């Protein structure tokens, strides 16, 4: 087989894979709708405010409602104790 | 048309032979390029999916949260504040929340304790999968708690939240109101914070202002701010995302710079020979265009597919150590693959287009030089 044909075949396979990714994303989104609804209902039922992503410190666990009196949140240049502090930006989004 | 296609095919044939002559260099190039695309695509996929999921899930959260602040710290709020808030027009419903943290010295983890309308009966608890996994708990098991006054008491596990809900419930522990107050010594007159539902979303700011005027010792957090928090965390300008993007872009600039700064002696000689055997400048540029396209498309598609597998099939295994930090309880969750064509197009224009352009410019310069002098190496 000519090299150019091989290249086209490779591109075709990759494009099909890319298409399959979209199909997979679409079907997964549909398949996960009940689970998403379950989480949304749980948030509503238990009146939750945050997702459980960083559990190492109270102010990283509940980002939206944490007080500002913590190591990193005192200022953007303050030394942070917990590693997830390096992922989180300093506050500034809360108006009140 | 047929001739044009055949010409392009011949050109690709020649390009591939030319690339295979410098096999080791080009394989290294494709590998690094793929890694750069993989990293950028992983960040884009992960941040978009988590932001989307957070916004959809937190849509059910309260419209407004009222906290009491004393000396800059959150303090239990008197329930008498609730009566004042209920008087404000536009407030559909208002209630109080009881929640807090409990440090478990057995495993060194922090739990989120919460009282809700569906809390279990006194003496029982419902726990998240993360707690059950870490403490090896099953329904019917007992968990020991040390109250604020040093008294130790046991609570029985009545239920475990489903694994599907781990993203919101991994460290959650539902407890009855009386057990909560007994554990923390919180008086009946106080709650952790107050929550409000507002009939008209447009009135939220006005109501918040009224509360702030009526109760000056409070801080009000709107749902909009709550949702924006997660947008900010995973914004490309924020924290670690910027570091990853900066590193990947820097690597890419070095690539493009290497290409744009000129061709190797071997590549220049090849161009000279092609010109000497009758190739036009446009043919040489077309050849270099295909060279750039072959390398960048190969790397782009491979990097993209690998990034998708990384984020949505392996649950972002390479990002996990960063997200996990020192957490003892870390939720096991698989992100829903929220992707859109806009992300792919952005990535394409960020990576493929600059690289292809960077390969054409030096070859255009080389192809306009006299072939004789190029072949002599002067």
Flag whether pLDDT at B159 surpasses 70. Answer: yes
Q: Which residues of A touch B161 (CB under 8 A)?
A: 42
Alpha-carbon distance values, B270 to B14, B138, B275, B364 (Å): 12, 71, 9, 13
Q: Output the pLDDT for position A72.
A: 52
Flag whether pLDDT at B248 surpasses 80. Answer: no
Most confident of B47-51, B178-182, B281-285: B178-182
Considering the domain boundaries, does residue A14 fall inside one?
A: yes
Residue ranges making up the domain that contains A60: 49-89
ipTM score of the complex?
A: 0.80
Band (B172; pLDDT cuts 50, 70, 90): very high
Locate the domains of chain B by residue range: 2-58+233-376, 64-198
Q: Output the pLDDT for position B184.
A: 92
Q: Which residues of B touch A43 (CB under 8 A)?
A: 57-61, 168
Band (A64; pLDDT cuts 50, 70, 90): confident
Q: Output the pLDDT for position B133.
A: 92
Q: Cβ(B229)–Cβ(B61) under 8 Å? A: no
Residues in chain A: 96
Q: Output the pLDDT for position B130.
A: 92
Flag whether pLDDT at A49 surpasses 70. Answer: yes
Considering the domain boundaries, does residue A96 fall inside one?
A: no
Contact A89 B130 (CB under 8 A): no
Between B160 and B331, the more confident residue is B160
Q: Are residues A28 and A60 in the same domain?
A: no
Q: Which residues of B touch A83 (CB under 8 A)?
A: 322, 325-326
Considering the domain boundaries, does residue A34 fall inside one?
A: yes
| 8-state DSSP, B61 | S
Q: Output the pLDDT for position A52.
A: 87
Q: Which residues of B touch A51 (CB under 8 A)?
A: 53-54, 57-58, 167-168, 230
Q: Which of B115-119, B229-233, B328-332 has the lowest mean pLDDT?
A: B229-233
The Cα B151–Cα B336 span in angstroms is 44
Q: Which of B199-203, B263-267, B278-282, B328-332 has the lowest mean pLDDT?
A: B263-267
Q: Which tens digits make up the pLDDT trace of A3-31? A: 888 888 888 898 899 899 999 999 999 99
Q: Output the pLDDT for position B156.
A: 93
Mutation pick from B70, B165, B174 vs chain A, by most beta carbons of A within 10 Å, is: B165
Q: Output the pLDDT for position B209.
A: 92
Band (B211; pLDDT cuts 50, 70, 90): very high
Q: Are residues A30 and A54 in the same domain?
A: no
Between B145 and B361, the more confident residue is B145
Q: Are residues A7 and A39 in the same domain?
A: yes
Flag whether pLDDT at A68 surpasses 80. Answer: no
Q: Output the pLDDT for position B126.
A: 94
Q: Output the pLDDT for position B96.
A: 92
Flag whether pLDDT at B228 surpasses 80. Answer: yes
- List the 67-86 stretch of A: residues with Cβ below 8 A of B: 67-69, 82-84, 86
Kindly report the nearest CA distance between residue A93 and chain B, in angstroms: 7
The Cα A49–Cα B211 span in angstroms is 20
State how many domains chain A has.
2
Q: Where are the alpha helices (DSSP H) in chain B?
A: 2-21, 23-57, 80-86, 129-135, 166-169, 177-184, 204-214, 223-233, 239-260, 265-276, 281-308, 320-324, 341-367, 371-376
**Nearest CB partner across the interface for A43, out of B58, B239, B328:** B58
Q: For A47, name the nearest residue in chain B, comparing CA atoms only.
A: B61
Q: Output the pLDDT for position A96.
A: 41
- B13-39 mean pLDDT: 86
Contact B323 A87 (CB under 8 A): yes
Q: Output the pLDDT for position B325.
A: 75
Considering the domain boundaries, does residue A82 fall inside one?
A: yes
Considering the domain boundaries, does residue A42 fall inside one?
A: yes
B13 touches chain A (CB under 8 A): yes
Full-model pTM: 0.84
Q: Are residues A41 and A75 in the same domain?
A: no
- Output the DSSP codes for B131-143: HHHHHT--TT-EE
Contact A46 B167 (CB under 8 A): no
What tokens appear for B176 in the block? 């009855």
Q: Are residues A10 and A25 in the same domain?
A: yes
Between B323 and A93, the more confident residue is B323
Q: For A37, name the nearest residue in chain B, comparing CA atoms only.
A: B57
Q: Which tens digits make up the pLDDT trace of B92-107? A: 889 999 999 998 888 8
Considering the domain boundaries, does residue A94 fall inside one?
A: no
Q: Are residues A26 and A38 in the same domain?
A: yes
Q: Output the pLDDT for position B363.
A: 73
Contact A44 B219 (CB under 8 A): no
Q: Backbone phi, then psi, for B119, in 5-degree steps?
A: -65, 150
Band (B236; pLDDT cuts 50, 70, 90): low
Q: Are residues A53 and A43 in the same domain?
A: no
The Cα A22–Cα B87 span in angstroms is 51
Q: For B20, name the nearest residue in chain A, comparing CA atoms only.
A: A3
Band (B185; pLDDT cuts 50, 70, 90): very high
A30 touches chain B (CB under 8 A): no
Contact A93 B225 (CB under 8 A): yes
Q: Which residues of B touch A23 (CB under 8 A)?
A: none
- CB-based burial, A20-45: b 16+ in 10 Å, e otherwise: ebeebbeebeeebeebbebbbebbee
The Cα B196–Cα B97 span in angstroms is 11
Considering the domain boundaries, does residue A11 fall inside one?
A: yes
Q: Are residues A37 and A58 in the same domain?
A: no
Q: Cβ(B351)–Cβ(B37) under 8 Å? A: yes
Band (B181; pLDDT cuts 50, 70, 90): very high
The 10 Å Cβ neighbour count of residue B99 is 22
Flag whether pLDDT at B254 surpasses 50. Answer: yes
A23 touches chain B (CB under 8 A): no
Mutation pick from A13, A45, A51, A85 vs chain B, by most beta carbons of B within 10 Å, is: A51
Band (A94; pLDDT cuts 50, 70, 90): very low
Q: For B169, name the nearest residue in chain A, comparing CA atoms only.
A: A52
Q: Are residues A8 and A42 in the same domain?
A: yes
Q: Which tens digits make up the pLDDT trace of B120-144? A: 888 899 999 999 999 998 999 999 9
Rg of chain B, C-alpha, whole Å: 31
Q: Is A29 helix (H, G, I), strand (E, B) or coil?
A: helix
- B191-220 mean pLDDT: 90
- B42-64 mean pLDDT: 89
- B204-216 mean pLDDT: 91
Flag whether pLDDT at B265 surpasses 80. Answer: no
Q: Are residues A82 and A68 in the same domain?
A: yes
The 10 Å Cβ neighbour count of residue A10 is 15
Q: Are residues A64 and A79 in the same domain?
A: yes
The CATH code belonging to domain B64-198 is 2.40.40.20
């Amino acid at each position: 087989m000519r090299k150019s044909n091989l290249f086209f075949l490779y591109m075709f396979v990759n494009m099909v894979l890319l298409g399959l990714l979209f199909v997979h994303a679409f079907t997964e989104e549909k398949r996960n709708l009940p689970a998403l609804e379950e989480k949304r209902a749980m948030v509503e039922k238990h009146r939750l405010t945050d997702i459980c992503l960083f559990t190492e410190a109270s102010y990283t666990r509940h980002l939206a409602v944490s007080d500002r009196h913590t190591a990193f949140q005192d200022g953007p240049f303050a030394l942070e104790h917990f590693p997830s502090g390096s992922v989180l930006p300093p506050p500034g989004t809360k108006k009140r | 048309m047929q001739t044009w296609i055949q010409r392009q095919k011949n050109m690709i044939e020649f390009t591939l032979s030319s690339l295979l002559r410098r096999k080791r260099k080009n394989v290294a190039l494709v590998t690094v390029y793929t890694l750069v695309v993989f990293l950028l695509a992983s960040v884009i996929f992960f941040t978009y999916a988590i932001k989307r999921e957070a916004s959809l899930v937190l849509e059910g959260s309260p419209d407004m949260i009222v906290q009491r602040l004393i000396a800059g710290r959150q303090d239990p709020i008197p329930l008498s504040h609730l009566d004042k808030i209920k008087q404000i027009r536009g407030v559909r419903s208002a209630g109080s929340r009881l929640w807090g943290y409990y440090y478990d010295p057995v495993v060194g983890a922090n739990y989120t304790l919460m009282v809700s309308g569906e809390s279990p009966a006194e003496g029982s608890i419902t726990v998240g999968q993360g707690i059950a996994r870490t403490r090896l708990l099953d329904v019917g098991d007992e968990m020991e708690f040390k109250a604020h006054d040093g008294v130790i008491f046991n609570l029985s596990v009545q239920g475990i939240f489903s694994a599907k809900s781990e993203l919101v419930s991994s460290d959650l522990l539902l407890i009855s109101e009386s057990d909560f107050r007994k554990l923390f010594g919180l008086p009946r007159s106080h709650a952790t914070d107050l929550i409000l539902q507002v009939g008209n979303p447009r009135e939220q700011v006005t109501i918040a202002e009224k509360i702030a005027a009526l109760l000056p010792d409070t801080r009000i957090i709107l749902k909009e701010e709550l949702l924006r928090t997660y947008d900010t965390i995973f914004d490309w300008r924020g924290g670690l995302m910027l570091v990853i993007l900066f590193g990947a872009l820097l690597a890419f600039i070095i690539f493009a710079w290497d290409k744009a700064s000129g061709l190797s002696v071997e590549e220049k000689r090849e161009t000279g020979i092609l010109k000497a055997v009758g190739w036009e400048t446009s043919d040489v540029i077309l050849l270099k265009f295909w060279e750039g396209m072959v390398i960048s498309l190969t790397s782009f598609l491979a990097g993209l597919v690998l990034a998708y597998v990384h984020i949505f099939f392996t649950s972002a295994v390479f990002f996990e150590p960063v997200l996990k930090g020192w957490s003892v309880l870390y939720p096991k969750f698989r992100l829903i693959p929220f992707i859109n064509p806009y992300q792919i197009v952005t990535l394409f224009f960020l990576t493929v287009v600059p690289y292809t352009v960077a390969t054409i410019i030096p070859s255009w310069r080389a192809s306009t030089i006299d072939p004789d002098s190029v072949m002599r190496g002067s």
